[in-house]
Structure 1
Amino acid sequence: MRILASVLVVSAVALPCSAQTVLKSEPLILAPYEIAFVQDPSCTPGKVLKVTGAIRGLHRRRMCVALSAEQVSLTVATP
């Protein structure tokens, strides 16, 4: 019974964390190798811009990727 209860608690915590947050604008500060998903009109419909932070002196990596509707929640970037 304890195992069943612990599995239910872990799954309740893990499911909300699996959603990706899509920002309305690209963040000014992004840690190296940190990933942010941004709504961008340059990407085709159904895709979002995936921005990966870089170490000092290198440019960020940007690419359009598709995310399923179950994984996406829209928020506003905070400055």
Structure 2
Amino acid sequence: MRYYAKAGVGGQKNMRALALGLIFSAVAVPSLAQTVLKSEPLILSPYEVAFVQDPSCPIGKVLKVTGAIRGLHRRKVCVSLASEQASLVTATP
């Protein structure tokens, strides 16, 4: 016969802290890195954003391409990548 020790309240607190830590890290990791493409993608969903290394933009800036709904043109703007990572306001449609 085996005897198991009761899990105390401290164990539940540690498990909650671990779960919250995993959730926050899963949300934070994608926002830390942005992929810069070498060419503009052919298919881009509405309001999806892609960063493209484009020679028409000045040094230190990349082309930010935002997908549009059918019948409208994509929005293209040269931006510095550091400011885009810090801003969440521009990500909302």
TM class by shorter chain equals: 0.7 to 0.9
Structure 1's unaligned 5+ residue stretches are 72-79
Are 1:54 and 2:68 matched, yes or no?
yes
Identity %: 64
- The one of 34, 39, 54 equivalent to 2:53 is 39
**TM-score (structure 1 length as normaliser):** 0.75
Please report how far the alpha carbon of residue 23 of structure 1 lies from its aligned counterpart in structure 2 after TM superposition: 0.8
Q: What's 1:15 paired with?
A: 28
Q: What's 2:19 paired with?
A: 6
Higher strand share: 1
Q: Report which stretch shifted further, 50-59 or 12-21.
A: 12-21
Please report how far the alpha carbon of residue 21 of structure 1 lies from its aligned counterpart in structure 2 after TM superposition: 1.5
Max Rg structure: 2
**TM-score (structure 2 length as normaliser):** 0.65
- Using the alignment, how far apart are the partners of 2:22 and 2:57 within structure 1? 38
Q: Secondary structure at the match of 1:10?
A: helix
- The one of 26, 39, 58 equivalent to 1:25 is 39
Query: Residues 33-72 of structure 1, C-alpha deviation per residue, up to 9 Å, x if partnerless?
Result: 111110111111111100011122211110011112xx5x
Q: Secondary structure at the match of 1:6?
A: helix
Higher helix share: 2
The alignment yields a C-alpha RMSD, in angstroms, of 1.5
Larger RCO (CA within 8 A; separation ≥ 6): 1
Which portions of structure 1, spanning 4 or more consecutive aligned residues, are displaced by more than 2 angstroms?
none
